[in-house]
Amino acid sequence: MSLCKCPSVGPNMGYLVSFGNCMTALLAFFIVLNSLAKEQTGANLHSGTGSFIRSTDSLGLPGLFPKSRSKHAFQLSESAPLYMVPDPDENTPDRNGSGPDDNDDAGRILDRQQEDFHRFLQEMRRRSPLEAQPDVAGEVSFDILGKLPPPGSPLMPEFREALNGIGPHLRQSGYAVEITVWATTPSQTAWIRAVEQADQMRSDALKYLRLSAAQSRQVTAVGRTWISASVRRPAASITLRRLVTP
């Protein structure tokens, strides 16, 4: 008699039972430890369970839902913890009703929004090194009210006149020039077009003034949106600043 070859039933998923029991035991152990903690405001429990919920959101293990609904487990968003504070009308010696953190236990109180903001600043400093800029002792601006010419056109008379006035100062130390092109509308495309026009005006100014490499670094160009609704918007502005030299 020949042996019957049993059909393949696929991989065995029985290990998920032990894995689920282990995760449940760890979570229960954390809850027991939290119940023995000195602080009973609920913040510690929310911090621990929050990371557990985020891990299940991103992992996506197959659950036990019917195939007609879903084959992946999902977790709904959980609200922040509610702090139980005493009644402000009660005359208690150690509580004034403003919250559970008003005790003088020298404990560290974490502000999550402030911590996230500081972490964001640290990451920006790591990616883009910053350097301190010198203080400004005084500045003067020249506004160009006419429409800017297309790229490749000759310099505007107003722009050439402003460059003739600031050119001698750029050949001295302690001066800086900023060319600002004001966007026509507060939109992304208008802001990008203003940046490109400002860069073109800077290139034209460097060619017209024939500045050296060191002097060219004193000229910058930016594109910005006009913030005043009552004052007429100029097409561009040329700002000459006198810096405070150490």
Q: What is the pLDDT of residue 174?
A: 87
Tens digit of pLDDT for each residue in 199-231?
Answer: 999 999 988 888 888 888 889 999 988 877 788
Domains of the chain: 13-84 (no CATH), 136-243 (3.30.1330.60)
How many CB atoms are located within 10 Å of the residue 228 CB? 7
Q: Are strands 136-144 and 219-225 parallel, antiparallel or unpaired?
A: unpaired
Question: SS3 breakdown of the chain: % helix, strand, coil, rounded to 5?
Answer: 40, 15, 50
Q: pTM to 2 decimals?
A: 0.49
Tens digit of pLDDT for each residue in 81-134?
Answer: 554 555 555 555 544 444 445 555 555 556 778 888 888 888 888 887 777 778
Cα separation, 150 vs 156, whole angstroms: 11
Tens digit of pLDDT for each residue in 147-161?
Answer: 888 887 888 888 888
